Amino acid sequence: MTSSGTSNRISSGISSTTGSATSQNAGPENGGGALPRITPRRVKVGLVAGGLGAYWPQFPDLLPQLQRSAARVSERMRELDAEVVDVGFISDAEEGAAAAERLRAAGCDLIVGFLTTYMTATMLVPIAQRSGAPVLLINLQPTESMEHATFDTGQWLAYCGACPLPEMANAFTRCGIPFRSVSGYLEDERAWQRIGRWVRAAGVRAALRHGRHGLMGHLYPGMMDVATDLTLVSANFGGHVEVLEFDDLRVRTEKVTDAEAAGRVNLAREVFELADSVNEEDLAWAARVSVGLDRLVEDFALDSLAYYHRGLDGEIHERLGAGMILGASLLTARGVPAAGEYELRTSLAMLIMDRLGGGGSFTEFQALDFARGHVEMGHDGPAHLAISSRRPLLRGLGVYHGKRGWGVSVEFDVTRGPVTAFGLRQARDGSYGFVVSEGEVVEGPLLRIGNTTSRVDFGCDPGEWTDAWSAGGISHHWALGTGHRLADLRAVADLIGADITHVQP
């Protein structure tokens, strides 16, 4: 099965033979020059502006001024990298109903209602009811303050977008419609930062609702926390989980040509520093699996992937499972997150973090450093190369701890500065929740065992933080991303109806 959109997206990514493409956002210091980002689906924002039509004959200059403000809002919205469906200006309930139908048909990810002056709730409630998308109401007056000494009633009304906001909130609440708003003035950058946050959150919601998430192999034996009811993914987020066999990867890897495998080895040498422990035969095998992985993602139109296979005595499935780390890391860096140990909820958390611009690397506890006050975390599996503090290292491993097989693994630590630990918990009733904590990656000694190891200072005793983090209901894996993302994640949780636990002991 194929999807032309995803197929084009993946095939325009890493070259199987040259690795010569240019990255959109990963710098050369971490090998990003050879790793182009995928092109995700753009968030579609429906925009409607309005005011009370009874004013227009009374104040002839008012409507043209408000329409100019509406045009400016439409322009600024497009600057947020959104596809904007602008249905224009409405003046009464009938025009609101017509706008509602146009926005419903457009299939928007977010509806933005611009309150330019007073308007009745009956003009916007039908839009919210019919669209099937979250609604954001914005009240942006023309400037910071009115010219009180010279303004007449008509000029004041251009500043009266706050007037209908309580009415809308009341009506939305009574109609059972979730309500959110941003108030400010037209060129208020603080307001536009908040609007941008809602647009980004709507993009994440859309990525989940339209996403195709691969799950390949089987559960790591005994991991009760990792086990996921696949129906709950669709119930909580929407989207589709594609159940895959390792044979789906095997047949594609078998068709990789020697030239394609050699090209992927060249790419690995360009992106990574290679430790002396890297065995050339293991690297060649990981490169071949990497090309096969790209084809798997393309053929099944995958937006994320979680995998694990144990295998026995060096047979092909064990070798495939052990050869995944290189290809999975390259995919993750390009925006198709891949997580080991069958961790579907963590691959989803990585996708959310990636779409918010924070990367998102597969992570678990490694140790606590009470002498320095740090939590050491990372993993020996796939990593998000774009957030590495340096050129990532490929290290050859004779054994993967707790897993069968051998091969190459990625080693780095996350860029110094603010980071966010983020994971998904599953409650007893089947609902998903967000678990979030903000900290800072700091300097300190790191393990050199082929793991992605980072030292994170959460501003408190590492033991207390560990207890609070675990009490949040997180599983033993999560995503570690750059930047402080709590505000963005609160917006995403709001739009998808998820609870959020902020861990800050």
Residue 459: its pLDDT value, please?
Answer: 97
State the burial class of residue 477 (Cβ atoms within 10 Å of its Cβ: 0-12, 13-18, 19+). Answer: buried
Residue 403: its pLDDT value, please?
Answer: 56
Tokens (6 digits) for 85: 């469906």
The domain over range 44-206 is classified in CATH as 3.40.109.10? no
- Dihedral of CA 291/294/298/301: which sign? positive
H/E stretch holding 114 reads strand 110-115
Residue 20: its pLDDT value, please?
Answer: 27
Residue 381: its pLDDT value, please?
Answer: 72
Where does the pLDDT of residue 397 fall: very low under 50, low under 70, confident under 90, or very high at 90 and above?
confident
pLDDT at 484 over 90: yes
| Mean pLDDT, range 350-374, rounded to an integer | 96
Where does the pLDDT of residue 25 fall: very low under 50, low under 70, confident under 90, or very high at 90 and above?
very low
Q: What is the DSSP string of 360-424?
A: EEEEEEEEEETTTTEEEEEESS---GGGBSSS-EEEEES-BTTBS--EEEEEB-BPSEEEEEEEE
| Mean pLDDT, range 425-430, rounded to an integer | 95
Q: Which residue has the tokens 């520093």?
A: 273
Residue 11: its pLDDT value, please?
Answer: 37
**pLDDT tens-digit readout, 304-350:** 999 999 888 889 999 999 899 999 999 999 999 999 999 999 999 99
Q: How much of the chain, in percent, has pLDDT values that exceed 90?
A: 82
pLDDT at 382 over 90: no
| Mean pLDDT, range 396-408, rounded to an integer | 66
Cβ neighbours for 30, distance < 8 A, ≥ 6 positions apart:
385, 386, 387, 388, 389, 390, 391, 392, 412
**pLDDT tens-digit readout, 46-95:** 999 999 999 999 999 999 999 999 999 999 999 999 999 999 999 999 99
Q: What is the DSSP string of 153-220?
A: HHHHHTT-TTTTHHHHHHHHHHTT----EEEEETT-HHHHHHHHHHHHHHHHHHHHHS-EEEEEE-PP
How many angstroms separate the CA atoms of 333 and 100, rounded? 39
Instruction: Determine the residue type at 166.
Output: P
| Mean pLDDT, range 296-309, rounded to an integer | 97
How many angstroms separate the CA atoms of 339 and 282, rounded? 21
Q: Could you tell me which of 107, 106, 166, 98 has the C-alpha nearest to residue 137?
A: 166
Distances (CA, A) of 312 to 37, 222, 318, 322: 36, 18, 6, 11
Mean pLDDT of the chain: 91
Tokens (6 digits) for 228: 């996921």
What is the pTM for the complete model shown? 0.91
pLDDT at 402 over 80: no
- Dihedral of CA 448/449/450/455: which sign? negative
State the burial class of residue 359 (Cβ atoms within 10 Å of its Cβ: 0-12, 13-18, 19+). Answer: buried
List the beta bridge partners of residue 47.
86, 112
pLDDT at 23 over 90: no
Q: Could you tell me which of 489, 188, 186 has the C-alpha nearest to residue 357?
A: 489
Q: How much of the chain, in percent, has pLDDT values that exceed 70?
A: 91
Residue 173: its pLDDT value, please?
Answer: 96
Residue 448: its pLDDT value, please?
Answer: 85
How many angstroms separate the CA atoms of 356 and 436, rounded? 14
Domain ranges of the chain: 4-40+210-502, 44-206
Give SS3 for 150.
coil
Cβ neighbours for 56, distance < 8 A, ≥ 6 positions apart:
62, 63, 91
Cβ neighbours for 458, distance < 8 A, ≥ 6 positions apart:
375, 437, 438, 439, 465, 504, 505
Where does the pLDDT of residue 35 fall: very low under 50, low under 70, confident under 90, or very high at 90 and above?
confident
**pLDDT tens-digit readout, 227-278:** 989 999 999 999 999 999 999 999 999 999 999 999 999 999 999 999 999 9
Q: Could you tell me which of 336, 358, 332 has the C-alpha nearest to residue 487?
A: 358
Question: Do 264 and 16 contact (CB within 8 A), yes or no?
Answer: yes
Question: Do 50 and 123 contact (CB within 8 A), yes or no?
Answer: yes
Residue 406: its pLDDT value, please?
Answer: 64
Q: Could you tell me which of 24, 107, 116 has the C-alpha nearest to residue 72?
A: 116
List the beta bridge partners of residue 306.
215, 339
pLDDT at 380 over 80: no
Residue 383: its pLDDT value, please?
Answer: 87
